[in-house]
Amino acid sequence: MKLLLPSIGIEWLDVVDAELASIIIRSFPSSPEVLEVGVWKGAWSVTVLLNTTAKVTGIDPYPAGEDAKTALFRSLNDNDLGGRFVLESSWEALAPDKKFDLIHVDALHTEAALEADLINADERLSGGGVIIVDDFRHPWFPGASSAFYRFLDAKGYLILCTSSNKAYVCRASSHSNLRGQFIELMKNPISFIVFDYLTDERPNQLYVSPTDVRGAPVLLIEKLSWLAPLKHKVYNLLPGWIRQKL
């Protein structure tokens, strides 16, 4: 299925994460409720709306001014998507009992801010839902990394998969089921390739190191270049003694 992208562009959003979010949303049995925390110009939200039937709620107080907010609504209006998008200024503005199946956290990247957003996301996540955390290992934001891993421990979350920029996490009780679903869903992606240490050997690696975090295996998502599948297949055909020299 071709991935539709907003005419305004996707800025920092990697096409891998755009496609992955759309795949996850389409896996839900009915039209899911989606939340984005830190909307900015709407690259992620608008991409989700263009490629799925989901309803999206955004939280963003726009502390840096109205220009980004104006760009967001221009993009929504240009694509006739305003009927499926609601913007709020804070967590507190959400209906008290509102739950979401997918929550994308990409707001302020300080340790304290991300910690607060993740706690709120946990309270708002539906059963079997997924939280996406942006820049969880970015070298500029060590505080965000600290908040992320402490959240996993404190709330009992596990990582389903990681891309270059984002971590996709769920409650421990959902991990096994969702992992199986993810493997099935991601068999023919357009923009990325999936590595599973239980079945795959990673190119240019002397041995397979388990990718486990808190005892659970993590699927590794890499951007797909035209050489990637070929490199992967050729590597696995090489004798072991040659692999060890690569």
Burial (CB < 10 A; 0-12, 13-18, 19+), residue 29, is: exposed
Residue 154 DSSP label: H
| pTM to 2 decimal places | 0.87
- Residue 49's CB is within 10 A of a number of other CB atoms, namely 27
Beta strands 55-59; 85-88: pairing state: parallel
Sheet-wide strand order for 166-171: 85-88, 55-59, 33-37, 100-105, 125-134, 166-171, 157-162, 219-223, 192-195
Instruction: Name the architecture of domain 15-243.
Output: 3-Layer(aba) Sandwich (3.40)
What digits encode the pLDDT tens for the residues 179-211?
Answer: 999 988 888 787 888 888 777 655 555 556 788
Structure tokens at 116: 């607060």
CB 62 within 8 A of CB 69: yes
Lowest mean pLDDT among 7-21, 79-93, 112-126, 150-164: 7-21
Q: What value does the mean pLDDT of the chain take?
A: 88
Identify the residue whose tokens are 């990409």: 106
**Tens-place pLDDT, residues 118-144:** 999 999 999 999 999 999 999 999 999
Spell out the residues 6+ positions from residue 85 whose beta carbon is closer than 8 angstroms to its own: 45, 49, 55, 56, 57, 58, 76
Instruction: Return all residues near 86 (Cβ < 8 A) that are at least 6 apart.
Output: 55, 56, 57, 58
